A and B are shown apart, each in its own frame.
Chain A
């Protein structure tokens, strides 16, 4: 075999499997979903029938899609905001040398790496109206008179879900922010102190500018993931009560597996995909993560 042919075999042999897998398991299903959104296809009548934009017309005219969209926005903004706030407070508190810092850091990785189902079950148990320890404490301290049905109440379900997501992913924000804080040059604080800045001023002039990129990356990436989060929400509320926590992915799920209309579900998925695409474009434009690898070689 001549060297050029051999090189070609190597390139194909090494990158081929990954490329094939990526295309087959990630891109093909999405392409199929987008294609499917132009057809009528239900679980009872599997034959595909071209209907053009009918599916889109149907879901875009329904208030349900827009309601779900709005809830996705509320859940995303709420949970990402909470993650950033918790992450920032916790990281500032932890940003000092003390014994046991490594242990604390391990503790903070845990919620993020736990299976969603574990977090969901633990929170259902903690917040249960009948047996929940949180309600017990609230009643014993006299803060509330009757137990609160956190995940089942119309006014509380969304907040409870946001709180749970904040707990699980806030710890992740903490770690990233902490890492960035520890990389700030202490000289900057000395300089700020010399020029007469108090702690608040120093935070504003030194800490926040240093954290800007980190906070933005967390907000963007977590925002993209939270917008499309299915498991955490589904596990604790199934989208209820009365659809009050039915975000876009839960809406798509309902169309596919409770109303058995795959065409409509595919159209809802395509809407999700468009939002994702928008987020991804912003992320790539702002940060271009591909800089981390050398492609010119």
Chain B
């Protein structure tokens, strides 16, 4: 009976792992399967006739490169603004006593729950009036709306564990506050800043809703919007679509495997 139980548990574990892993496996396998083979089911689950034809087609026959650049510009913009705003806020909120911190904390956490659609419709109207649709600035600002609340929160918590005694020691030896901030405080806050950068990147890179609503000009599409447009046509080239899905997921894979320890700090709650 015990043995049977252990066997059943193990079998169940493999089923769960299979359910989680199979979509990844199928995505990667399809991306390297030649187009003709994908139009001729039934498929084999293991195949060795790999081809990079889908990737070649994706990179040279579609606008993938342009979408990639757009996504990258938006993500870099979001990282820079988030890091600056969240780091400064984290420092100020932990180093000075002033009224209104509690409402600020509530306001930050509440805005973290705002769904993209709720902000995207009014932003569409406002940005139309301001001629900011289909611009990088507009998209970066929209992406700030989803990432800044979490990032302020992360840095607020992080600066609480950066000891103030280090800065105080720097002041005693004659450094100004600014200099102590730059040379003592910021270096010790580096892991927190890195998490902020990662989350800003991930939320911007993954965003579909804002880019879909605000960037209506094909030349301003980001990767998620561009990818979605690949399946709007009839006769979808699934091998190429899967190749695109693999390439868009690469940053996610890299993050998970190299930076897991930073991720866990902020994993608590992303949209």
A and B from one complex: yes
Which residues on A are within 8 Å of B, measured CB to CB? 7, 10-11, 13-15, 17-19, 21-22, 24-30, 32-33, 36, 41, 86, 89-90, 93-94, 104-126, 128, 130-131, 133, 136, 140, 167, 171-172, 175-176, 221, 224-225, 228-231, 235, 249, 252-253, 256-257, 262, 265-266, 269, 272-273, 276, 279-280, 284, 289-290, 292-295, 297
- Main secondary structure, interface of B, reads helix
Collect the chain A residues with CB atoms within 8 Å of residue B39's CB: 131
B135 an interface residue at 8 Å Cβ cutoff? Answer: no
Q: Are the CB atoms of A118 and B245 closer together than 8 Å? A: yes
B171 contacts the other chain (CB 8 A): no
Residue numbers in B under 8 Å from A24 (CB-CB):
141
Binding site for A on B (CB under 8 A): 9, 12-13, 16-17, 19-21, 23-24, 26-27, 30, 38-39, 41-43, 81, 84-86, 88-89, 91-98, 101-102, 104-111, 113-119, 121-126, 141-142, 144-145, 148-149, 152, 156-157, 160, 177, 202, 205-206, 208-209, 212-213, 223-225, 227-228, 231, 238, 241-242, 244-245, 248-249, 252-253, 255-257, 260, 263, 267-271
Residues of B within 8 A of A107 (CB): 17, 20-21
Contact A125 B208 (CB under 8 A): no
Most buried by B among A93, A111, A293: A293
Closest residue on chain A to residue B91 by CB atoms: A14
Bound complex: CA of A30 vs CA of B111, how far in Å?
Answer: 10
**Contact A167:B23 (CB < 8 A) given known A269-B121, A292-B157:** yes
Q: Determine whether the beta carbon of A121 is less than 8 Å from that of B227.
A: yes
**A115 engages B108 (CB within 8 Å):** no
A175 to B257, CA, bound (A): 16
Supply 6 A–B pairs (Cβ within 8 Å), ascending by A: A15-B89, A27-B111, A32-B122, A114-B252, A126-B23, A249-B117
Min distance, Cβ B68 to any Cβ of chain A, angstroms = 13
Counting chain A CB atoms within 10 Å of each CB, the highest count among B19, B42, B117, B208 belongs to B117
CB distance from A246 to the nearest CB of B (A): 13
Known A10-B177, A25-B141, A106-B256; contact A111-B20, beta-carbon cutoff 8 A: yes
Contact B85 A21 (CB under 8 A): yes
Closest 5 CB pairs of A and B: A14-B92, A228-B115, A18-B89, A29-B122, A117-B224
Most chain B CB within a 10 A radius of its CB, from A25, A123, A130, A284: A25
Q: Which of A122, A272, A273 contacts B26 (CB 8 A)?
A: A122
Residue pair B208, A257 in contact (C-beta under 8 Å): no
Nearest CB in chain B to that of A175: its residue: B267
**Docked pose: A221 CA to B115 CA in angstroms:** 12
